[in-house]
Structure 1
Amino acid sequence: MAKVLCVLVVSALLSLFHGFTTATVKTEDGSEEWGYVEVRPRAHMFWWLYRSPYRVNDPSRPWPVILWLQGGPGASGVGIGNFQEIGPLDSNLKPRNSTWLRVADLLFVDNPVGTGFSFVEDASNDKLLVKTDEEAADDLTTLLIMIFNRDEGLQKSPLYIVAESYGGKFAVTLALAALDAIEAGKLKLTLGGVALGDSWISPEDFVFSWAPLLKDLSRLDTNGAKKSMSVAEKIRDELIHGKYVEATTSWRELEEVISQSSNLVDFYNVLLDAFMDPVSSVAAEELGNAIAAQRYSTYLNYLKSSSSSPGSDGDINSLMEGPIRKKLKIIPKNVTWGGQGNAVFNNFQGDFMKPRINEVDELLAKGVNVTVYNGQLDLICATKGTEAWLGKLKWEGLHEFLDMDRTPLYCGTSKLGTRGFTKSYKNLHFYWILGAGHFVPVDQPCVALNMVGSITQSPTTPHSS
Structure 2
Amino acid sequence: MKMFSMKSLIFLWVLGFASSISSLGYSSRGTSDGSEAWGYIEVRPRAHMFWWLYKSPNRVEEPSKPWPTILWLQGGPGGSGVGFGNFAEIGPLDVNLKPRNSTWLQKADLLFVDSPVGTGFSYVEDDNLFVKTDVESATDLTTLLKAIYNVNTTLQKSPLYIFAESYGGKFAVTLGLSVLQAIGQGQLKLQLGGVALGDSWISPEDFVFSWGPVLKDVSRIDEVGLNKSNNLALKIQQQLADGKYEAATNSWFDLEGVISDHSNNVDFYNFMLDDGNGPAAIATTKASRHFGKKPYAMIAEEANEPDLGSVMNGPIREKLKIIPNNITWGGQSGGVFSALEGDFMKPRITEVDELLSKGVNVTVYNGQVDLICATKGTEAWINKLKWDGLSTYLNLGRTPLYCGKDETVTKGFFRSYKNFAFYWILGAGHFVPVEQPCVSLEMVGSVVNSPNA
TM category (shorter chain) comes to: over 0.9
- Residue in structure 2 matched with residue 22 of structure 1 by the alignment: 26
- Residue in structure 2 matched with residue 248 of structure 1 by the alignment: 249
Q: Select between 22-31 and 417-426 the one with higher mean Cα deviation.
A: 22-31
How much does 1:151 deviate?
A: 0.6
Q: 1:96 and 2:100 equivalent? A: yes
Q: 1:405 and 2:405 equivalent? A: no
- Residue in structure 2 matched with residue 200 of structure 1 by the alignment: 201
Residue of structure 1 aligned with 2:42, choices 10, 29, 38: 38
How much does 1:122 deviate?
A: 2.1
Gap change, CA 1:11 and 1:62, over 3 Å in 2: closer
Q: Which runs of 5+ in 1 are unaligned?
A: 13-20
- The one-letter code sitting in structure 2 at the alignment partner of 1:349 is E
How much does 1:283 deviate?
A: 6.3
- The one-letter code sitting in structure 1 at the alignment partner of 2:334 is N
Q: How does 1:63-82 map to 2 (within 5 A)?
A: 63-82=67-86
Judge conservation of contact 1:256–1:291 (CA < 8 Å) in 2: no
CA distance in 2 between partners of 1:199 and 1:272 (Å): 20
Judge conservation of contact 1:286–1:341 (CA < 8 Å) in 2: no
Q: 1:365 and 2:369 equivalent? A: no
Q: 1:378 and 2:370 equivalent? A: yes
Q: How does 1:163-242 map to 2 (within 5 A)?
A: 163-242=164-243
How much does 1:415 deviate?
A: 1.0
- Residue in structure 2 matched with residue 149 of structure 1 by the alignment: 150
Aligned residues: 437
Judge conservation of contact 1:284–1:296 (CA < 8 Å) in 2: no
Root mean square deviation, CA, Å: 2.2
Q: 1:438 and 2:430 equivalent? A: yes
CA distance in 1 between partners of 2:287 and 2:377 (Å): 25
Gap change, CA 1:59 and 1:289, over 3 Å in 2: closer
TM-score, normalized by length of structure 2? 0.93
Q: 1:450 and 2:442 equivalent? A: yes
Judge conservation of contact 1:173–1:359 (CA < 8 Å) in 2: yes
CA distance in 2 between partners of 1:440 and 1:286 (Å): 17
- Residue in structure 2 matched with residue 112 of structure 1 by the alignment: 116
- The one-letter code sitting in structure 1 at the alignment partner of 2:39 is G
- The one-letter code sitting in structure 2 at the alignment partner of 1:425 is Y
How much does 1:290 deviate?
A: 8.4
Report the 3-state secondary structure (helix = DSSP H, G, I; strand = E; otherwise coil) of the residue aligned with 1:349. Answer: coil
How much does 1:412 deviate?
A: 1.9
Gap change, CA 1:287 and 1:223, over 3 Å in 2: closer
How much does 1:29 deviate?
A: 2.1
Gap change, CA 1:9 and 1:387, over 3 Å in 2: closer
Judge conservation of contact 1:80–1:283 (CA < 8 Å) in 2: no
CA distance in 1 between partners of 2:292 and 2:204 (Å): 19
CA distance in 2 between partners of 1:197 and 1:34 (Å): 25
Residue of structure 1 aligned with 2:412, choices 404, 415, 420: 420
- Residue in structure 1 matched with residue 66 of structure 2 by the alignment: 62
Q: Select between 417-426 and 278-287 the one with higher mean Cα deviation.
A: 278-287
Judge conservation of contact 2:88–2:282 (CA < 8 Å) in 1: no
Q: How does 1:287-436 map to 2 (within 5 A)?
A: 291-292=293-294, 302-303=302-303, 308=305, 312=306, 315-436=307-428
Judge conservation of contact 2:313–2:328 (CA < 8 Å) in 1: yes
How much does 1:9 deviate?
A: 9.4
Gap change, CA 1:280 and 1:239, over 3 Å in 2: farther
CA distance in 1 between partners of 2:22 and 2:177 (Å): 32
How much does 1:414 deviate?
A: 1.6
Report the 3-state secondary structure (helix = DSSP H, G, I; strand = E; otherwise coil) of the residue aligned with 2:452. Answer: coil
- Residue in structure 1 matched with residue 6 of structure 2 by the alignment: none
Gap change, CA 1:390 and 1:417, over 3 Å in 2: same
Report the 3-state secondary structure (helix = DSSP H, G, I; strand = E; otherwise coil) of the residue aligned with 1:417. Answer: coil
CA distance in 1 between partners of 2:351 and 2:285 (Å): 27
CA distance in 2 between partners of 1:24 and 1:32 (Å): 11
- The one-letter code sitting in structure 1 at the alignment partner of 2:73 is L
How much does 1:137 deviate?
A: 0.2
- The one-letter code sitting in structure 1 at the alignment partner of 2:198 is G
Identity across the alignment (%)? 64
Judge conservation of contact 2:77–2:336 (CA < 8 Å) in 1: yes
Judge conservation of contact 2:389–2:418 (CA < 8 Å) in 1: yes
Judge conservation of contact 1:8–1:23 (CA < 8 Å) in 2: no
Q: Which runs of 5+ in 2 are unaligned?
A: 1-10
CA distance in 2 between partners of 1:194 and 1:290 (Å): 23
TM-score, normalized by length of structure 1? 0.90
How much does 1:369 deviate?
A: 0.3
CA distance in 2 between partners of 1:384 and 1:199 (Å): 12
How much does 1:282 deviate?
A: 4.2
Report the 3-state secondary structure (helix = DSSP H, G, I; strand = E; otherwise coil) of the residue aligned with 1:451. Answer: helix
Gap change, CA 1:176 and 1:89, over 3 Å in 2: same
Report the 3-state secondary structure (helix = DSSP H, G, I; strand = E; otherwise coil) of the residue aligned with 2:294. Answer: helix
Gap change, CA 1:442 and 1:153, over 3 Å in 2: same
CA distance in 1 between partners of 2:53 and 2:386 (Å): 36
Q: 1:258 and 2:250 equivalent? A: no
CA distance in 1 between partners of 2:152 and 2:289 (Å): 33
CA distance in 2 between partners of 1:415 and 1:114 (Å): 45
How much does 1:289 deviate?
A: 8.2
Report the 3-state secondary structure (helix = DSSP H, G, I; strand = E; otherwise coil) of the residue aligned with 1:292. Answer: coil
CA distance in 2 between partners of 1:10 and 1:352 (Å): 33
Judge conservation of contact 1:275–1:296 (CA < 8 Å) in 2: no
How much does 1:28 deviate?
A: 2.2
Q: Deviations over 1:422-462 (max 9, x none)?
A: 0100000000000000000000000000001000000001x
CA distance in 1 between partners of 2:286 and 2:47 (Å): 24
- The one-letter code sitting in structure 2 at the alignment partner of 1:385 is G
Judge conservation of contact 2:288–2:300 (CA < 8 Å) in 1: no
How much does 1:91 deviate?
A: 0.4
How much does 1:110 deviate?
A: 0.2
CA distance in 1 between partners of 2:325 and 2:272 (Å): 41
